[in-house]
Amino acid sequence: MDVQWVRVEPPKLGPRNSAVGLFFSMLLGVWYAQALEMSVGKVPFLEAVNGSTVMLPCSYSSCIGIENLYFNWQFNDNGTMHKVCESVIPSQGVEPHVSIYRERVEFVGKNRDSNISILLWNITFEDGGQYTCFGLNPKEKGKNHSAIFNLIVVDELRMVDNTLTIIIASAVGGAIALLMGFMLLKNFTLFVLSKLEEKNKECLVTSSGIDNTENGLSGSKADSKATPKKK
């Protein structure tokens, strides 16, 4: 029995189908641009001394706004996630009622400027670790996002040795000063040489005038004798 292979050509998209595809691509791009975003700032970690009080920052943003935004803070305890606090924000500007599940924790965001930060009082070494700020916005059909902040608890803050930085800055400053001094000396030398050259030219012109006067040449101050007339 002979088997015949038939090649099936993929359907070609017409102008209308291409326009529809482009339209859906644009909608998809707008959808992602409007997606909820949680942020813990440009520096997602903090090194703090044992016994101090620290703030864990977090804020949310959404291009189309929020409606019953759910958020929580969670602490990663050796792979086990423990809820620190949680709440629902009905709408922008409304202060939420936050449930706290961990000691020495205070909600300080108050929903001002989309702020949902928390405060940790009298931190201990057990408080050090990874904290996750999570948010879910039903207005975006359940779109959710999270951001991670790391807290490092130490006995005392490390002193930064700036010796190398000072040496480099001094070397660069000295090189710049030396270069500026060289340029000033160069310009001053060129100025003096130009003045000396002008003075030499004046001396040459003056000397030439004196020589012509002594030799009785035309243009000099020597008396000229009249040519005797023929009788």
Strands (E), 90-142: 99-100, 105-107, 118-120, 129-137
Asked if residue 99 is part of any domain, the answer here is yes
Q: Is residue 146 located within the same domain as residue 190?
A: no
Residues 139, 31, 83, 97, Cα dihedral to 10° = -30
Q: Is residue 171 located within the same domain as residue 141?
A: no
pLDDT in tens, the chain (231 residues): 554 555 545 555 555 555 544 444 444 444 444 589 999 999 999 999 999 999 999 999 999 999 999 999 999 999 999 999 999 999 988 889 999 999 999 999 887 789 999 999 999 999 999 999 999 999 998 899 999 999 999 998 776 656 677 788 778 888 898 888 888 888 888 888 887 777 777 666 666 655 555 555 454 444 545 555 555
How many other CB atoms are found less than 10 A from the CB of residue 81? 12
Mark 189-208 as b/e (b = at least 16 C-beta within 10 Å). Answer: eeeeeeeeeeeeeeeeeeee
Asked if residue 62 is part of any domain, the answer here is yes
Q: Is residue 150 located within the same domain as residue 169?
A: no
User: What is this structure's pTM?
Assistant: 0.57
Q: Is residue 147 located within the same domain as residue 168?
A: no
Q: Is residue 150 located within the same domain as residue 178?
A: no
